[in-house]
Structure 1
Amino acid sequence: MGPSGSAGNDASIEFCDEWFALDPATAFNIGRDADLHIDDNQYLHRHFLQIDFSEGLWWLRNVGSRLSATVTDSSGTVQAWLAPGARLPLVFRLTTVVFTAGPTSYEFSVHTSAPPFIDSSPTPDGSGATTVGAIAFTASQRLLIVALAEPMLRRDGSGTSEIPSSAAAAERLGWVLSRFNRKLDNVCDKLNRAGVDGLRGGVGALATNRRARLVEYAVLSRLVTKADLALLDEAAPAAASPSAPPTGRP
């Protein structure tokens, strides 16, 4: 069924073309064994996220202990990282939530009928792209982001997708793994300096989590879009072609 049309600030969740109406009198749990059963993924909390109504607002809470979620408005210009124990008011008509458990990413949307905030962000320019921040990436760095985000970009609507391993993404680009990891470090350092959470390396930082956070941020902020998938097709012939024989004097 579609979103509720009753009076007041009604709210519904859409996940994989299924709709779930929210009751303001009852908290709604999302996880491996919850009101919204996302998946039997062993890396996913039984109860990970919770939506409830209080103080005149719908709230999204992270009731898990390890995983985080990325939350954005429909334009991708407002984005927040919801860490364990944090809560966030759902003030937009459409809010997108993305999170990763193990190698799998999940996306669902929350629709509200009477949001307290109206998005007045600028309309994207004629190219169809929206500039987010002032972070400049080299062509190869951008290509790396697209390779990691490819499964999510190719997916239509909400649902699940797999985050490629570094080895798989490097192979997709025809790069050696050391080159891929070096460029991944550079991309994450740039975004970290720009204030993007969840990308800092160091002891205890899981490689899967860093790649997942990069993909979540890049896709939801429109840093890369479906149109950028053409970059992979352009890179594929070059990666597949044999190296030219060395030239020079004997």
Structure 2
Amino acid sequence: MAASVPAGMTYVEFCGERFPLSGERRFTIGREADLSVDDNPYLHRQFLVLHNENGLWWLSNLGSHLSATVSAGDVGFSATLGPGARMPLVFGETTIVFTAGPTTYELSVYATAPQVRPVTQQSFAGGRTTQGVPTLTESQKLLIIVLAEEALRREGSGSSSIPSSAQAAARLGWPITKFNRKLDNVCDKLDQLGVSGMRAGGGKLASNRRAKLVEYAVASRIVTRADLPLIDAEAARNAAS
């Protein structure tokens, strides 16, 4: 059960628990912070910080190498907050997704905010924004759904582990060669759209691209819980063939 929070109060929600925010002090999120999300050694001790400035809530990235995807699905907004960057939270509900090592985390910030209209892409120092929703084939979407399965099935906010390519391929009933080929195609497509984390330096494929792919897809709502039945349908179809 979530902790009771007075109506109109700003709070962070993580794993069904609510953490009230005070305009008088900063609220940190990380491995050793006001909200300690996990003892994951890949996560900064203090990664994100929320603070109120002149009546407006700001989110800052204190990390040196991790980024966070910030989105507000009801207005179609999604942006990446890179190390050292900050941005105002001008939506009533903001979803924050980030990946540290093999684990992806999700939390939400609820705040009284001015009404905003649907927006197009915006830039924030130190980060790269989503450049639009990619056009995916049925098999490409299936690949993303199976990688994000645990993240989509969990109730509320929290963390999820990303399956290996072999585990995901077996779940769909695909040969690993087909899965890896489709993964390459999806990552190439997103890289061309400007999504970060798909490639490492020198154009090489990033080692943690599966986790970054899930982070992007969940935050941008490319895949949702409603897509999950497609996994079993594909597995059954391949088992029968």
Fold agreement, TM-score > 0.5: yes
The answer to whether the 8 A contact 1:76-1:221 is kept is no
Deviation at 1:99, TM superposition (A): 0.9
**Structure 1 residue identity aligned to 2:207:** A
CA distance in 2, matches of 1:178, 1:184: 10
**1:157 matched residue in structure 2:** 156
**Structure 2 residue identity aligned to 1:118:** V
Aligned CA RMSD, in angstroms, stands at 2.2
**1:198 matched residue in structure 2:** 197
- Matching of residues 25-36 of structure 1 within 5 Å: 25-36=24-35
The answer to whether the 8 A contact 2:172-2:232 is kept is no
Q: Which moved more, 1:223-232 or 1:86-95?
A: 223-232
The answer to whether the 8 A contact 1:29-1:49 is kept is yes
Tell me the SS of whatever aligns to 2:148.
helix
The answer to whether the 8 A contact 1:76-1:222 is kept is no
**1:103 matched residue in structure 2:** 102
Q: TM-score, normalised by structure 1?
A: 0.83
Which string of whole-angstrom CA distances, capped at 9 and with x for unpartnered residues, describes residues 215-236 of structure 1?
A: 1221222211122111111111
**2:11 matched residue in structure 1:** 12
**2:40 matched residue in structure 1:** 41
**1:223 matched residue in structure 2:** 222
**1:124 matched residue in structure 2:** none
**Structure 2 residue identity aligned to 1:177:** I
**Structure 1 residue identity aligned to 2:12:** I
**2:127 matched residue in structure 1:** none
Deviation at 1:202, TM superposition (A): 4.5
Q: Which moved more, 1:196-205 or 1:182-191?
A: 196-205
Deviation at 1:12, TM superposition (A): 0.7
CA distance in 2, matches of 1:96, 1:150: 18
Q: Which moved more, 1:156-165 or 1:193-202?
A: 193-202
CA distance in 2, matches of 1:117, 1:40: 37
Deviation at 1:152, TM superposition (A): 0.9
**1:112 matched residue in structure 2:** 111
Runs of 5+ consecutive residues of structure 2 not aligned to the other structure: 120-130
Relative to 1, partners in 2 of residues 1:206 and 1:133: Cα closer, same or farther, differing over 3 Å?
A: closer
**2:4 matched residue in structure 1:** 2
**Structure 2 residue identity aligned to 1:61:** S
Greater Rg by CA: 1
CA distance in 2, matches of 1:224, 1:153: 8
Q: Which moved more, 1:19-28 or 1:212-221?
A: 212-221
Q: How many equivalent pairs are there? A: 227
Tell me the SS of whatever aligns to 1:44.
coil
Q: TM-score, normalised by structure 2?
A: 0.85
Runs of 5+ consecutive residues of structure 1 not aligned to the other structure: 122-131, 244-250
Relative to 1, partners in 2 of residues 1:76 and 1:102: Cα closer, same or farther, differing over 3 Å?
A: farther
CA distance in 1, matches of 2:212, 2:75: 15
- Matching of residues 59-208 of structure 1 within 5 Å: 59-75=58-74, 77-113=76-112, 115-119=113-117, 133=132, 135-203=134-202, 206-208=206-208
Relative to 1, partners in 2 of residues 1:201 and 1:178: Cα closer, same or farther, differing over 3 Å?
A: farther
The answer to whether the 8 A contact 1:27-1:53 is kept is yes
